Chain A
Amino acid sequence: MTQSLGFGRMVSLLLAFALGIWVSASGLVDSVFTYWEDIVYLTKQHLVLVASSGLAAIAVGLPAGIWLSRPSMERYAETVMQVFNIGTTIPTLAVVALSMTILGIGFPPAFFGLFIASLLPIVRNTYAGLLTVPSHLKEAATGMGMTRRQLLWRVELPNALYVIFSGIRTALAINVGTTPLAFLIGGGGLGELIFTGIDLMDTGMLLAGAIPTAALAVAVDFLMGQAQLHLIPKGVNPLR
């Protein structure tokens, strides 16, 4: 697994390298670098959007998923999940656009749209992860005298951690993939260079936005993958 990952990484590096050669040969490098200050500024904006909406989605999604998985919610949880499943099929551009109709333009609607788009997978995986903890583990824990709270923290959450983390990883991938659209509703970010570049047919500007956007997305996913591999304890990590 690690070997092939290493190989895959090498291939992608080679591809990036080839792309670099092609770009420099076509004289695009200079034109991309004329946007260096914009790139830095907009990347910061981009990251702030990703981090704030992503963290907010985790902060809300985890407790919501836990709450839905409690026995007292059993009657409503499946219905809520069905609504959520439909929610995840809604295209992100529509989410962003609808967010604008509610909150206008600027940072708040961008934040809100990204927050909503990332929230669903987190709630869904937290809920599903907790429900799939085998009932005999819960019975053993209860039989040994754990309180409900101890059961949640010591048995249910640790054993659902891998699935929950997968949800967070998916959510961040969706989040990072949607953030370029934030520009459309005045939320800034690297989307500004891409969309403006397309409008003006300015290839340099376009690439100045597209390359860092793509690199950022790949990097975030890579980091999340590594985190999932190394941070999730060995006993409950199918990758180890």
Chain B
Amino acid sequence: MFRGEGETVEILSFIANNWLVILGLAGEHISIVVVAVGFAVLTGVPIGIAITQSKRVADMVLYAASIIVTIPSIALFGLMIPILSMIGQGIGWLPAVIAILLYSQLPIVRNTYTAITNVDPALREAATGMGMTPFQRLARLEIPIAIPVIMAGVRTAVVMNIGVAAIAAYIGAGGLGVLIARGISQTDPRQLITGAIAVSLLAIVADWALLKLQKRLTPEGLKR
């Protein structure tokens, strides 16, 4: 199907002629992931903190989250369609966001939980000994120390879900997956390759940028 040099030129001209469309799709793609992972941080971090109170509950929550991640994304979309259809949202933006929100729970909750449980007990004791309340201890000691690890979880979630969002094109959520889907169904390598490369680049760039951010957010004293 790929015929070499001539096609490379075709792809480049396709990109040149459609770059606004491509940028628009990339924007859609990013917005789905950002909104969903953003909500996932708002839910996942508190859950991760809350479950540090009980090993039993923590194991249960993490187990449930790991089962969700195991389910292939297209199957999860499939399972959600009948449910969300009841409110008329079976396909489109909402199921994509919900799926990504669910998938993001595992890396974010797990990283928050492990980061906080791994805080050196001596530090915790010192903080308590200085008269910090449990809440102050959390806000001034445990969360700052945990932030790099939580960010690593966010990064994992974003990279993974850029891929999930690509598949979400098949349930009408838009994004760069649209190019791949069309490319496949119309046997059009220009769209297909453009879409595949664009979505890969997006993932690679996001991974790199979030790694930078993660290093940025690491308190100076914790850097090695």
Contacts and interface: CB of A to CB of B under 8 A. Distances in A.
Interface of A: 1, 3-5, 7-8, 11-12, 26, 28, 86, 89-94, 97-98, 100-102, 104, 173, 176-181, 184-185, 191, 194-195, 197-198, 203, 206-207, 209-211, 213-214, 217-218, 221
Interface string B179-210: 01101100001001101110110011001000
A207 B79 CA distance: 6
B180 A94 contact: yes
Contacts of A177: 70-73
Contacts of A179: 72
Contact of B177 (A12, A89, A93): A93
B64 A89 contact: no
Contacts, number: 146
A176 B72 contact: yes
B190 to A, nearest CB: 10
Contacts of A28: 82
Interface of B: 1-2, 55-56, 59-60, 63-64, 66-67, 70-79, 81-82, 85, 91, 159, 162-163, 166-167, 170-171, 177, 180-181, 183-184, 189, 192-193, 195-197, 199-200, 203-204, 207
A95 B203 CA distance: 13
A93 B193 CA distance: 11
B74 A203 contact: no
The prevalent SS among residues of A at the interface is helix
Contacts of A5: 59, 63
B1 A101 contact: yes
B75 A210 contact: yes
Contacts of A210: 74-79
Contact of B75 (A3, A194, A221): A194
Contact of B180 (A93, A102, A104): A93
Contact of A195 (B74, B81, B200): B74
Contacts of B166: 91, 93-94
B200 A90 contact: yes
- Greatest chain B CB density within 10 A among A181, A195, A214 is at A214
Contacts of B78: 194, 197-198, 206-207, 209-210, 213
Contacts of A197: 78
B108 to A, nearest CB: 18
